[in-house]
Amino acid sequence: MALLEIKNLCLTFDTVGGKLKAVDGISLHVDRGEVLAIVGESGSGKSVSMLAVMGLLPWTATITADYIRFDGKDILNLSPSDRRKIIGKDIGMIFQEPMASLNPCFTVGFQIEETLRQHTDLDRAARRRRAVELFRMVGIPNTEDRLSSYPHQMSGGQCQRVMIAMALACNPKLLIADEPTTALDVTIQKQILELLVNLQIETGMAMILITHDMGVVAETADRVAVQYKGRRVEESDVLSLFESPKHPYTRALLSALPENATGDRLPSVSDYFLEEEAVTGGAA
């Protein structure tokens, strides 16, 4: 049975200029212990659909779906307080901007222990022990010391490690990583990605990795869903996607990898793909 199943998710935002449809009928599923990558360009609705699962969208958003089922329960029908028992415990999420995602007014130790306090019965000392253990897991040195640091005293990569530790605090069944490396230095990107892959194998949790980097997809994912303009245009396992992409947008995306550069110019998606093709290319 799938761990997370989304059927026909639609999202609209109220804006000054009227209603804006961000996601139009997306369905996807993730099995236990599986890594699903969602790729697509900015504005293709990859992040917002995951935020919808977490219930983190602003009030201007309207969510409709046949169902969003997690671990057999339909999240959409849960009361907010029942939903909060899953969010942060069984589903963890990390974000694009690790520095901005940590509260500047509290120590990172406090912020991790807060999650444990919310979802577990551990006492103060046990929470501290667990925080130390988590910090070791995500590879932060001088653990005891760093727990009492404030986010602004840490680097971006370290902040992302803290975020991962926080998301893993309650041994989640699913980790959603929303472009976790985009805002980081290239060398750090690699480390964080490796860390995520290792932790996924170690803990056996499922992971959804949102990215626009096909290289990352190739290295990490079991399965890939390609989104374009709020729709899913293709979904398959990694091997067959890279070998025989079906949708023209996917083909364009793959052709635009830097490895395919000719001369001194980097290729871009628009070199290979025109918007009209999305309509004729069998998107619906």
Partner 1 sequence: MLQFLFRRLAVLIPTFVGVSIIAFAFIRLLPGDPVQMMAGERVISPERHAELSQQLGFDRPIVVQYLDYLGGIVTGDFGNSIVTKRPVLSEFLALFPATLELSICAILLAVIIGVPLGIIAAVKRGSWFDQGVMGVALVGYSMPIFWWGLLLIIFFSGVLQLTPVSGRISLMYFFPPVTGFMLIDSLLSGQSGAFKSALSHLILPTVVLATIPLAVIARQTRSAMLEVLSEDYVRTARAKGLPPRRVIGLHALRNALIPVVTTIGLQIGVLMAGAILTETIFSWPGIGKWMVDSVFRRDYTVVQGGLLLIAIIIMVVNLLVDVLYGLINPRIRY
Contacts of 165 (CB under 8 A, 6+ apart): 112, 131, 134, 135, 137, 138, 140
116 close to 172: Cβ distance less than 8 angstroms? no
DSSP label at residue 150: -
User: Segment near partner 1 (CB under 8 A), from 23-31, 51-59, 224-232, 239-247?
Assistant: 51-59
User: Segment near partner 1 (CB under 8 A), from 2-10, 26-34, 53-61, 204-212?
Assistant: 53-61
8 is a site residue for partner 1 (CB under 8 A)? no
User: Segment near partner 1 (CB under 8 A), from 22-30, 93-101, 205-213, 248-256?
Assistant: 93-101
- The region, left, alpha or beta by phi > 0 then psi within -120 to 50, assigned to residue 204 is left
- Residue 84 or 190 having the CB closest to partner 1: 84
173 close to 105: Cβ distance less than 8 angstroms? no
92 is a site residue for partner 1 (CB under 8 A)? yes
- Tell me the CB-side half-sphere exposure of residue 250, using CA atoms within 13 A: 25
Print the binding letters for residues 158-177 with partner 1: x by CB under 8 A, - otherwise.
-----x--x-----------
How far is the CA of 31 from the CAs of 4, 17, 171, 204, 239, in angstroms? 7, 39, 16, 11, 18
Least distance (Å) from partner 1 to the CB of residue 54? 6
| Position among 26, 102, 175, 199 found at the interface with partner 1 (CB under 8 A) | 102
* Structure-derived torsion over alpha carbons of residues 235, 241, 246, 247, reported in degrees to the nearest 10: 60
> Total residues contacting partner 1 (rule CB under 8 A)?
29
Least distance (Å) from partner 1 to the CB of residue 198? 22
**Best CA proximity match to 62, nearest among 121, 12, 113:** 12
Least distance (Å) from partner 1 to the CB of residue 89? 6
273 is a site residue for partner 1 (CB under 8 A)? no
User: Segment near partner 1 (CB under 8 A), from 91-99, 220-228, 240-248, 260-268?
Assistant: 91-99
Print the binding letters for residues 20-49 with partner 1: x by CB under 8 A, - otherwise.
------------------------------
User: Segment near partner 1 (CB under 8 A), from 23-31, 95-103, 136-144, 189-197?
Assistant: 95-103
115 is a site residue for partner 1 (CB under 8 A)? yes
Binding site for partner 1 (CB under 8 A): 54-56, 81, 84-89, 92-93, 95, 97, 100-106, 114-115, 118-119, 150, 152, 163, 166
